[in-house]
Amino acid sequence: MSVLIVGSIALDTVKTPVEEHADLLGGSASYASLGASFFSPVKLVGIVGDDFPESEFDFWKERQIDATGVQRVSGKTFRWSGEYAWDMNTRETRSVALNVFEHFRPDLPEAYRETDFVLLANIAPALQSHVLDQMKEPRFVVADTMDLWIETARADLDALLPRVDLLILNDSEARELTKETSLIKAGRKIRKAGPKYVAIKKGEHGALLFGENEFFSCGAYPLEDIHDPTGAGDTFAGGMAGYLASASGKPDFASLRRAVIYGSVLASFNVEAFSLERLRTLTIEEIRERYDVFRAMSAFDERA
């Protein structure tokens, strides 16, 4: 089955202690779509300016990413610039220019509205709700969020949560959303706000998955070299959504556990190069090989 993915598409400038690269493909929807495309066809919704490379549209087509829903308008594409510290965990935003993304309104093509699986990548919760208003009974809805929306659009986020099957956020966002220091308490509290499942990303320390009276912890793949952490969380979300759409039936906790591992696998590959360059050359055989390592590390029984 296809996955509908709605989010930002950007051109990034990223600086690390040893390298700097400009005009890189970025944005939450870009990372999520490529991550999902390893498992399922993708219907992509976003907005770009007339400075956006046509070659990226050609690449999306090669990867079963339908970009019919990507609006190309006059003006400049959303641009972001950031710099990472030596530990590659601390990041400072140097500049943000929303450009055409400032007035983005995700109006879905008619053919997209009956898509069974939906990933609302990191955009304002009011826009995420606007997408769901146009959908015709999706089977499973995944949403990502961030601290900005928790701080500035809490009412909209609270209204969205009951409409979501799986909410994905990182550890600091979970604590900010719930005012709980314990991630276990935070995950359970978020579930009570509406989502059936909650996935909490912990960066280099893995991820946690919460269901009703169910819990799963997944470690992180031990990497020797990290070149660019940008988009790792979005790739994780895309990998999860793509895998869930490829599995038969409505997702249950067992399939979600597998999805967490696949999402973590894709995120671990993503950080091995700048932008989406590692994902462009990644093969499904490499994904499966690393999945087996992850499964062993997590003592995960496929039969459970």
Write the pLDDT tens digit of every residue in 128-146. 999 999 999 999 999 999 9
Q: How confident is the model at residue 298, as a pLDDT?
A: 65
Q: Which residues pair with 209 in a beta bridge?
A: 199, 216
Q: Are 4 and 119 in contact (CB under 8 A)?
A: yes
Q: How confident is the model at residue 168, as a pLDDT?
A: 97
Cα–Cα distance measured from residue 96 to residue 187, given in angstroms and rounded to the nearest whole number:
31
Q: Per-residue confidence at 303, pLDDT binned at 50, 70, 90?
A: low
Query: 28-36 and 232-246 are packed helices; what angle lies between their axes, rounded to 10 degrees?
Result: 40
Listed range (78-82, 84-88, 142-146, 275-279) with the worst mean pLDDT? 84-88
Q: Per-residue confidence at 300, pLDDT binned at 50, 70, 90?
A: low
The answer, yes or no, to whether residue 27 has pLDDT greater than 90, is: yes
Virtual CA dihedral for 46, 236, 290, 227, nearest 10 degrees? 80
Q: Give the global pTM.
A: 0.94
Q: 15, 66, 7: which is closest to 275 by C-alpha?
A: 15
Q: Any residues with CB less than 8 A from the CB of 105 and at least 6 apart, and which?
A: 127, 130
Q: How confident is the model at residue 223, as a pLDDT?
A: 80
Number of neighbouring beta carbons within 10 Å of residue 224: 5
The answer, yes or no, to whether residue 301 has pLDDT greater than 60, is: no
Q: 212, 223, 207: which is closest to 258 by C-alpha?
A: 207
Encoding tokens for residue 133?
A: 């208003």
Q: Are 23 and 277 in contact (CB under 8 A)?
A: no
Q: How confident is the model at residue 221, as a pLDDT?
A: 81
**Where in the chain are the domains?**
3-297
Write the pLDDT tens digit of every residue in 183-228. 999 999 999 999 999 999 988 788 999 999 999 998 888 787 889 9
For the chain, the C-alpha Rg in angstroms (whole number) is 18
The answer, yes or no, to whether residue 28 has pLDDT greater than 90, is: yes
Q: How confident is the model at residue 235, as a pLDDT?
A: 97
Q: Per-residue confidence at 39, pLDDT binned at 50, 70, 90?
A: very high
Write the pLDDT tens digit of every residue in 97-113. 999 999 999 999 999 99
Q: 205, 226, 206: which is closest to 269 by C-alpha?
A: 226
Q: 209, 262, 206: which is closest to 235 by C-alpha?
A: 262
Average pLDDT over residues 258-275: 94
Give a three-class secondary structure readout of 157-185.
Answer: HHHHHHHCCEEEEEHHHHHHHHCCCCHHH
Cα–Cα distance measured from residue 292 to residue 18, given in angstroms and rounded to the nearest whole number:
32
Q: How confident is the model at residue 91, as a pLDDT?
A: 86
Q: Per-residue confidence at 302, pLDDT binned at 50, 70, 90?
A: low
The structural architecture, per CATH, of the domain 3-297 is 3-Layer(aba) Sandwich (3.40)
Average pLDDT over residues 42-46: 98
- How far out from the chain centre does Cα 204 lie? 16
